[in-house]
């Protein structure tokens, strides 16, 4: 068990009364958090791109201001632990984003959008789409009528989203695989 920190006595009552703090109370809680966390260097910071002060401020805004949290903060060590867990969550989120990165596959010089009303599947298929429909036991006119009825009955945004989706699929299918990776 660690020694009692000089700020523990102030931190505990301020944390408990967060819902009812006045400006002076919030200011003091902020000062305590900044003093403690700016002097704390958890190893998780090495994996994050921003400076420490950015994460300390975001932690205060995201976690300390969060009044619905039932977490207790009885001492400085607990504050450090909450901050370290917050940084770990940021790291996991960053790693998840990086694992979902998509190569930029858009090359405007070598492509043109498909004609309106023609999906990327029709453009890319080596097989005749009418043959595929017949093999599935569907009449092209019935499929077209069903699709049109669905679009007409859909909300206003649906046809736009479908058009954008078709365009994205078209571009992805025509992409150059050696394209650079964009980080979002």
Q: What is the pLDDT of residues 54-93, one digit of tens each?
A: 999 999 998 888 887 778 888 999 999 999 999 999 988 8
Tokens found for residue 89: 């969550």
**Domain residue ranges of the chain, discontinuous segments joined by +:** 8-99, 108-173
| CA 46 – CA 83 distance, rounded (Å) | 14
Per-residue pLDDT, averaged over 113-138, amounts to: 67
How confident is the model at residue 184, as a pLDDT?
Answer: 41
Q: How confident is the model at residue 3 (pLDDT cuts 50, 70, 90)?
A: low
Query: Coil, strand, or helix at residue 65?
Result: coil
How confident is the model at residue 126, as a pLDDT?
Answer: 66
Q: Which percentage of the chain shows pLDDT scores above 70? A: 74
Instruction: Work out the mean pLDDT of the chain and round it to a whole number.
Output: 79
Q: What are the residue ranges of helices labelled H in the chain?
A: 8-16, 23-38, 52-59, 76-99, 120-124, 129-135, 140-153, 157-173
Per-residue pLDDT, averaged over 26-53, amounts to: 91
| CA 55 – CA 44 distance, rounded (Å) | 11
């Amino acid at each position: 068990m660690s020694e009692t920190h000089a700020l523990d006595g102030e931190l505990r009552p301020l944390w408990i009364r967060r819902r009812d703090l006045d400006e002076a109370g919030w200011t003091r809680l902020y000062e305590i958090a900044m003093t403690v966390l700016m002097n704390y260097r958890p190893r998780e910071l090495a994996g994050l791109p921003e400076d420490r002060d950015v994460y300390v401020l975001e932690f205060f805004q995201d976690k300390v201001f969060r009044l619905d949290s039932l977490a207790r903060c009885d001492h400085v060590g607990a504050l450090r632990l909450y901050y370290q867990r917050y940084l770990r969550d940021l790291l996991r989120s960053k790693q998840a984003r990086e694992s979902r990165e998509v190569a930029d596959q858009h090359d405007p010089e070598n492509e043109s959008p498909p004609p309106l009303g023609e999906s990327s599947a029709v453009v890319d298929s080596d097989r005749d789409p009418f043959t595929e429909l017949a093999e599935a036991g569907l009449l092209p006119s019935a499929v077209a009528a069903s699709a049109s009825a669905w679009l007409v009955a859909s909300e206003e945004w649906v046809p736009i989203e479908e058009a954008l989706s078709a365009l994205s699929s078209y571009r992805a299918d025509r992409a150059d695989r050696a394209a650079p990776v964009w980080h979002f």
